[in-house]
Structure 1
């Protein structure tokens, strides 16, 4: 009999198995079937990529910086692969007993099973498919391949003789490439066990809150019994009695095949169903309830991921990569620092206050974000009319995005004017007799700072701010008119460019337009009229702390793929953006506002003088207030850490934030820095050179 004739007979036999029809293959002598080895009957078939290099969807896990604390997971299918040697032997035995008792004897297709199924189908009209574990794995792998179209996936699961033949051919070919244990491991990792659990690791956790290695005999038998009818027999959401009946069947089969003695099987069958279910979180709204505040960091992580070309060419593709790729993502979030940050934020405003105090903590020199905190519930729950972001929100109040452009940060932007001046050649000792009101060259259309069509800022406290000032004293006392004059000397466009160089993203359309088309006349930018976020502001000041090295803010400590390989995405992305000596000079002047002392000249007053004495380590920073105190800002940094907090009403930018709030912010920032640095050595800032501090030179022009 030639090979073509054998294949024809084989196809007829399969049609009977599948449809239970009385076909001509019924007359095929059993001796002939058993005499033909399927290994010889079928030609070798080249395997598709989904079988040679399977890519089943696996959940990605996002951890805190300790690499152990789970923030949340992202998945389409709750699955994570485990090596077969990390699966309890009783689980391996149970699945073989339940699904393919001759697994270790056949070559991928069980001839006896095919004939038995055909006979039963013909005699009783039942449907027995005779699929081996290898064939089941082939079907699952083809159907779950993310590279397939929906049409291809439907073809892989259709009920037809053609599909069954393909499965057999592939199963025979697969068994030539892999060992039995390798195939069994793949099957256990891809099978669906019901209740949303794909693979043995997810199933062990879902039903028993354990790992595959720790499964007991009764637990293993229950799980093995579920793969036949995972939706209906699921004991959590479906028929627990059916699940127990299947468990008994599996235990009986294990006893019949000699894997258990009858007494052990009977004891396991008598065990009560003891489920300890645990659901795997999925997405940012599923962060642990006790750590709801992690949701804002998680949200910012997803924004970061969606912007990474390493994970796909579009946002949709990057999301598919995240939810199917099995990544282990160790984030930069420090749970202890985050807990302290949320505690300090709630001292500024409780969650019951419609004003917010978004706060960010950044590590200079790496850009790693240790905490993002705000006095809000991370939730999609509805809010009262007119209060879009209070008390519940999933909008990104700390890092921007999701429609949040940020808040005015007031005099904290004077840092950018000072840096531009230092870079142009003006030293810290540059002095000016600052008046109460200064009429600038910059045109304005109106408003309270309008003097005959020109912008004319005034000092908030003339008796304390007016007079002969240097960068040290002007920054310490936050002298508006000094920085307006300084901006004229170096050019407003240079101030705007400096802010953007240090990572200030102008998200508000009007701000972006002015930066693009009118920066030369945007003198008021120096006083912080543009919107920013606490994260951008903290990172800009962290650049000064890192002596001019700017790092892109990142939520990542490390990322490894499903095979354990570390990927480069998320590593520190840093570059020198300002001269080291210029940064050191700015840090020296920034010691004055917070009660520190310059390394060249004593500071003669600051807007947050209580911060340094309480912290008892070198610190620098700045405060800021917007028009009519609609916002209040505090930013502070040491060589190791930078913190920024902005008090504002996200739903009403005209709403004043309330008296005394900046005092609470200063206290909160000091306590937060002290806690976060509690185990860190005390480090001082490196003094700037005498040249950049004291020497008078002519600034470069902007034209």
Structure 2
């Protein structure tokens, strides 16, 4: 009994409120110039003319587009809702007429609320005992959609959409007010961009793309009527399976009939449209990096997205930043250069599958990764990230990935990362610190020595083995000390920085590390962009040695720490840019939905090394690659053919870890730096076989050659004085 009484009271209250509002509406309709004051102009304590900000400011989620550096090649789209706002001028009359015929035929006649429609619906629903007719105008629908999109809590969403009299009254009040503030065309444009058309298509642009793979301007009358019919029943038709097609056609034909009633079409035009076969494409808009336009470019896309989620300009938390990316309607021109990226992709394939230096032209172990990163000196712009993998999630039901390299994980059913993975192999992160890089790490000791005042011609009489200050147990230990030797056990005798670096003499650089001081070397490495990560599974990890015991970390100079191709490429880019370190960034330009440029995309650079130090280091780094010092002092090389293949002025270094678990080659010009690693990323610490410079060297060499085609051959510069070249010794 109580329930029935409560229901009667609610109905009576609703009738009274509707009556009051109807009186206001009738008055407004009859006397449009009359100011509405007092209780009649206030519903629920709000002035009729008041509007929340969200109704005047476009807050609907928008697609963000990520392009390659040329600004035209689409790399990826990012969205939570597939929506792209367009001006009404890009919506042809036939589409507007179809929507109005289906949703609100009196749109251009009423003042936001249809008084006759309210009365008609009220009577019909009372007679039926349930909701049989609605009275929402297109303006009221727009109000509801806009409020729901501006909601920040679940309760606000419920309040905006629940079927109650109070919600209807609020919509009517706001509809009256918004018609005073906006033109009819503005309201129609907002509605067309906000409405949901099913199949994850929000707004008319997305609907035209999803159903017919067209822009709205190219829709036929039949297609426009079909889309318009979906607004009331967005979930009844599946564009992929075509479930509900017959019902969709029936509703399309209904809209075409209504268009005849509104004189938008003639009977003959409607008949022709009905005879048109419904050909739904069901084109889904790719979303995110896994669906990037090129299966190889997803790794760069992922680097971009991780970078975005760290930028304070887009929110205070990673969640807020990602939400901004997927709803903010940004246009992002990334730093990915299609020419460089394609050159790296081709070169990797060549080195693994069409390599004249390998038996049968192919590398035997397919799961090994060849990973390349390219950085532009002086800007930090990442021009490409490439590997012999697809940026994809492996299928759980039909996996393509083979067994994990680590037998313990393989026994547990864990699969490896070849050929599909979403791991950031080239750019790394806290969960993937990187891989040992070998002797390329000597560059940081060399630079630190130059900073301290040691000149390039500084000689050390090298011995093999060298008894270091670092205490260890086990091999290679001699008397409790770490005793490194050189490749082949050779003692090279007197060496300087040119020859020691060119011939990669371990027993030159370990004593140099000790003389310079480990803390200085690590500080230099950090200023050149190296990161030392914690490893929760190790008691003495890279972060421990770098921060707590750098003086005793002599193995660092031979490549004991883990780093990524991107870090090493950027370190050499810093040298090529005369000591200017730039944070690696994946963007050229970011503009928001209003076309305003966002400063977060600007390069972030700092003079982290003295100019002459960087120039002297580059001069020594020319020796390993078959190039020549500007002072003619190179004598020895580890990748002699690099200069001949590339045909540009170059500097860089090879790297080989113990037992060749990983091999590396890094090459820089004045315009581009590329670092390449070959290793097993799934079990880099314990490889079952040796990696090969016959793979990694041509991968980097030919990538650089092709990326630099047609670009200037810019010479490196000498230091401004000879102090760091032929000086007498270090400063205190």
What is the 5 A alignment of 1:553-564?
A: 553-564=584-595
Q: Does 1:449 align with 2:476?
A: yes
Distance in 2 between residues matched to 1:355 and 1:25, nearest whole Å: 72
Are 1:407 and 1:532, in contact at CA under 8 Å, matched by a contact in 2? yes
Distance in 2 between residues matched to 1:241 and 1:255, nearest whole Å: 21
Are 2:612 and 2:724, in contact at CA under 8 Å, matched by a contact in 1? no
SS at match of 2:675: strand
Counterpart pick for 1:187 among 181, 187, 191: 191
Distance in 2 between residues matched to 1:164 and 1:14, nearest whole Å: 13
SS at match of 2:170: helix
Are 2:427 and 2:565, in contact at CA under 8 Å, matched by a contact in 1? yes
Q: CA deviation at 1:424?
A: 0.9
Distance in 1 between residues matched to 2:445 and 2:339, nearest whole Å: 35
SS at match of 2:177: helix
Q: Does 1:80 align with 2:84?
A: yes
What is the 5 A alignment of 1:251-650?
A: 251-288=256-293, 291-349=294-352, 353-381=366-394, 382=399, 383=401, 384-385=403-404, 386=410, 387-401=415-429, 403-440=431-468, 442-463=469-490, 466-509=492-535, 510-650=541-681
Q: CA deviation at 1:436?
A: 2.2
Distance in 1 between residues matched to 2:95 and 2:18, nearest whole Å: 38
Distance in 2 between residues matched to 1:137 and 1:524, nearest whole Å: 66
CA separation of 1:265/1:319 partners in 2, compared to 1, >3 Å: closer, same or farther?
A: same
Q: CA deviation at 1:655?
A: 4.0
Distance in 2 between residues matched to 1:154 and 1:45, nearest whole Å: 24
Are 1:226 and 1:234, in contact at CA under 8 Å, matched by a contact in 2? no
Distance in 1 between residues matched to 2:631 and 2:723, nearest whole Å: 11
Partner of 2:45: none
Q: CA deviation at 1:67?
A: 2.1
Counterpart pick for 2:701 among 646, 654, 670: 670
Distance in 2 between residues matched to 1:349 and 1:393, nearest whole Å: 19
Which sections of structure 1, spanning at least 5 residues, go unmatched? 1-10, 17-22
SS at match of 1:113: helix
Partner of 1:170: 174
Distance in 2 between residues matched to 1:25 and 1:633, nearest whole Å: 77
Q: CA deviation at 1:362?
A: 0.8
SS at match of 1:582: helix
Deviations, residues 3-57 of structure 1 (Å, cap 9, x unaligned)? xxxxxxxx979946xxxxxx9989x9x9998566286564524211221213111
SS at match of 1:95: helix
Partner of 2:66: 62
CA separation of 1:31/1:192 partners in 2, compared to 1, >3 Å: closer, same or farther?
A: closer
Are 1:649 and 1:657, in contact at CA under 8 Å, matched by a contact in 2? no
Partner of 1:4: none
Deviations, residues 382-413 of structure 1 (Å, cap 9, x unaligned)? 54353432332211111112721111111111
Are 2:83 and 2:203, in contact at CA under 8 Å, matched by a contact in 1? yes
Distance in 1 between residues matched to 2:724 and 2:715, nearest whole Å: 17
Of stretches 171-180 and 212-221 in structure 1, the one that deviates more from structure 2 is 212-221
Are 2:659 and 2:690, in contact at CA under 8 Å, matched by a contact in 1? no
Deviations, residues 175-194 of structure 1 (Å, cap 9, x unaligned)? 11111111111000100001
SS at match of 1:357: strand
Distance in 2 between residues matched to 1:358 and 1:123, nearest whole Å: 72
Q: CA deviation at 1:634?
A: 0.4
Q: CA deviation at 1:66?
A: 2.2
Of stretches 47-56 and 341-350 in structure 1, the one that deviates more from structure 2 is 341-350
Q: CA deviation at 1:233?
A: 4.0
Q: CA deviation at 1:198?
A: 0.4
SS at match of 1:37: helix
Q: CA deviation at 1:694?
A: 2.9
When the two structures are aligned, how many residues end up with a matched partner? 678
Q: CA deviation at 1:513?
A: 0.9
CA separation of 1:203/1:377 partners in 2, compared to 1, >3 Å: closer, same or farther?
A: same
Q: CA deviation at 1:484?
A: 1.3
Distance in 2 between residues matched to 1:115 and 1:659, nearest whole Å: 83
TM superposition score normalised by structure 1: 0.92
SS at match of 2:75: strand
SS at match of 2:77: strand
Deviations, residues 594-621 of structure 1 (Å, cap 9, x unaligned)? 0001011231110001100111111111
Partner of 1:130: 135
Deviations, residues 487-524 of structure 1 (Å, cap 9, x unaligned)? 12211111111111111111243000111110121122
Distance in 2 between residues matched to 1:31 and 1:159, nearest whole Å: 22
SS at match of 2:169: helix
Counterpart pick for 2:716 among 685, 689, 693: 685
TM superposition score normalised by structure 2: 0.88
Distance in 2 between residues matched to 1:33 and 1:196, nearest whole Å: 36
Are 1:72 and 1:286, in contact at CA under 8 Å, matched by a contact in 2? yes
Deviations, residues 64-101 of structure 1 (Å, cap 9, x unaligned)? 22222222222221111111111122111211111111
CA separation of 1:25/1:208 partners in 2, compared to 1, >3 Å: closer, same or farther?
A: closer
Which sections of structure 2, spanning at least 5 residues, go unmatched? 1-9, 43-47, 354-362, 405-409, 536-540
Are 1:493 and 1:521, in contact at CA under 8 Å, matched by a contact in 2? no
Distance in 2 between residues matched to 1:545 and 1:448, nearest whole Å: 38
Partner of 1:5: none
